[in-house]
Chain A
Amino acid sequence: MSIHVRNVSKSFGDFSALEGVSVDVAGGSLTALLGPSGSGKSTLLRIIAGLETPDLGEIIIAGEDATGVRVQDRNVGFVFQHYAAFKHMTVRDNIAFGLKVRKRPKAEIREKVDELLKLVQLEAFGHRYPAQLSGGQRQRMALARALAPNPEVLLLDEPFGALDARVRAELRDWLRRLHEEVHVTTIFVTHDQAEAMDVASQIVVMNHGRVEQIGDPTQLYDEPASEFVMQFVGEANRLGDRWVRPHELDLSPDPAPGALEAQIERVTRYGFDARIELVTADGSELLVQVTRDRLEELELVAGQIVGVVALNERTFAGR
């Protein structure tokens, strides 16, 4: 089920949360809304869900105007950052909720809940209460609950934000695999660019209530549309008014006359890669990424003065 957001604006009092936002999401895709806090990404997600009403613009879900449709009739699954588990219900009852309020036959509910418990690997926990689960388990329960009524769209608001790093990475992989299995159109909100790059096939970068760029992870990294995207997605170096990705800089141990010079502060090796932090004469910091082979070839050490050469660089129109 495709989702189209057309020219949506929303303010809360004096604060303009969204300004003329348009986004197209293809049916069955996995999209991330990425941006810093206050960028409007959660508001956009809540407007798609029907939890907020836009001041202007419309939401089209599966070809039909959903702007005026009430939350409960929109058939969206929503996963909250803090799980929003129904504390007085067991895991089974939580998952069954959406089916019970739709008055589905008991046998059907039981079958569907069993299936979902298996899908989220909580078969052994059906009779526990949310308070007896870990954060990751609770979020998986919330996911199963959202999927139970077979939603047309699955929306996740910073779903892994409250979890520790390891569980986070685990759930991330798991979400990607789940999406491959279930194929429901999924949009998730995150402020973590690595998470967005890792999970999503399409990323919508947002800032100050506007869309900065929409593209796949490679596009955003290689062809950022603005300084903001350049900085926010992946790492970036600024050389005057030019911008360079860390892997697009090369170093030479004996700088040519007139070349940019910098002093090496620190060298860190990450498996295949090495990261070199430098400071230029005017005090600005640079990050360079080279292969381990190249590092050994150059025999670089901290304290050394080297020349910096940009292999590729970009400028952005001032805004």
Chain B
Amino acid sequence: MLELEAVTKLYGSVIGVNDISLTLSRGAFGLVGPNGSGKSTMLNLITGQLRPTIGRVRVLGESPWNNANVLRQIGMCPEQDVLYPNVTGLEWVRYLLELRGWRGQAATVRATEMLELVGLGAAMQRRMGGYSRGMRQRAKLAQAIAHDPQLLILDEPFNGLDPVGRHAIADVLHQWIAKGRGLILASHVLHEVESVTDSFLLICHGRLLASGSIPEVKSLLAEVPNEISVRCDRPHELACLLVGEKTVDSVRIDDDGAALLLSTRNPAVIFARLPEWISEAGIRVHEMRCADDSLHSLFHSLLQIHRGHV
């Protein structure tokens, strides 16, 4: 579906994306990274709005730059939500369909169906200037899927949506994935990506940090210490007990002196023995937190590796 070969994009002396190589087969992928990490540049390269300074981009087997054949098979929902204020949602989606070759009545019917699918059926005859942000997001999604593309690219599609709207859009995307179509969903909010797909590309400072499913990326982190926070009444005593333990890499007390932070490569051993130590010493534990299996923890750990902190 997507192939990037040593792709670098420079804006003058500023690096947009840096030496990204990647091959994605058809499926759904979350493109995750903080703001300014290069997500939009990568999407612009994929949609043929930008040419790589170095390297090669192939989408559905062809270069997307000025390539109508590729663009015909791509649907894009950009991050920016400003639309023509004096045009109705129906007119706009129909217009974009007509530009893609749909004719009169068929375009109207299709636009109506898609707007109803995203929950804008009642508002499609209203001018978009009066739409809420969530309604504009829905209209953008409708135009992106209206021509039934092979690859759907969404940049921050959940922005401005209320929880009900997020759920509804996530449902639409699940149906999309179930049809076997390609999806790239860019977001800086990790749980949004997790709600749609468990495969992702993690990008930071223009570089691809990791790609694959959560278990695949976790395997990269086998040697990365997990951090466990224990909030208790006597953290210094607990620290003394843990220092002698071989599986513990480091122990420190947090700034307010109420919690102990320990780092370990083998959290399972610690979890097994911690209750025993606590009960023997009579320490009262108020709260215990550890890195979980969420995308957030993976993102955090990979960034630490990337920045050389680990």
Is the pairing of A and B real?
no
